Structure 1
Amino acid sequence: MSIARATVEDLFAQYHPNGSTEIADVGRAREFVATAEDPWSRHTLLHLTGSAIIVHPPTRRVLLRWHPRQGSWMQIGGHGDPGETDPVTVALREGKEETGLSDLVPWPDANVVQVVIVPVPANAVEPAHEHVDVRFVLATAEPDAATPESPDAPLRWLGAAEAREATHEENVREMLMRVERLLAVPG
């Protein structure tokens, strides 16, 4: 078994999905990872991605990024680069690239917070496809250092409830509710 499969399979084995939709998504994801030649390959219509909600725990704020392709405020994240096999590593790299925050760390730990299969619309270079998005929470101590990677992908710091209202994606709203519960736990 490859390192990529062991890492993701281990994460899925330790993760307990919440609700019927996520149970179905995790079941489909487990089957996909067990049978795919390369579960990270962007050349298949279903592939793994890693993403995260970035938080600033002292102020209980979350950082959202505008995703032009999805037309919504969402978490940071994306595809693994060649050789990357750990979704939290992907989320950390994408977080740094998309926000300029160099101090990101998994928070309160590196456990998976949500797994969701997300439809992605076609664009000029890719057909419509799906992501098995493995989601985490990352924290920064320097929220004012956040800088968007491009003018068409602005960033916004919001309270978790305000962030839920800002997004059009139901699965992101669910993720934000989970993050809000984590932020409410006394440190």
Structure 2
Amino acid sequence: MSLDPTTRPPTAPAGTWRLEPDGSTVEFTGRHFFLLPVHGSLPVRSGRVEIAPDGRLVRLDAAVAAAGFETGNPGRDTAVRGPRFLDAEHHPELRLTGETLADDLSLTARLEVKGRATPVTFTVDELTEQGERVVVRATARVDRHSCGVGGMRGLVGAELLVRVRAVFAREG
């Protein structure tokens, strides 16, 4: 179901949920020369979320693979995986740790990139329950500079639009 801003959004389904990497995606759009859009993705590795019966976030932890950064431009991808940007050799994962889940299902979390944790807020655009599975689509704006990814400041814009499709399966 799509979330309609004029109606009360659904509550997050209680329980412990395991993120399914194969059905989940993390995509982003940034700006090269501050004008030209650059689209890319990062592969989802793992994740778990626990929601209390009252809808409160108990725990959220998810990881994506820094070495899987891909935009379709091999030279750019190699550079971004390198030490000036993600430093995938020394920091193989980007981690997201949840802090709070608001009534409107916006998620406040900490995004850890290269060992530096930065606050980020995701807006849930869609939440679909499919039996023992839940599909969540969410978006966030992330300032790469505040995450410690400062390479090529004069050529690459600071803000990234991050889009997540997360598929969760209920645990036992």
Alignment TM-score > 0.5, same fold? no
Query: Normalised by the size of structure 1, how large is the TM-score?
Result: 0.27
More helix by share: 1
Query: Normalised by the size of structure 2, how large is the TM-score?
Result: 0.29
More strand by share: 2
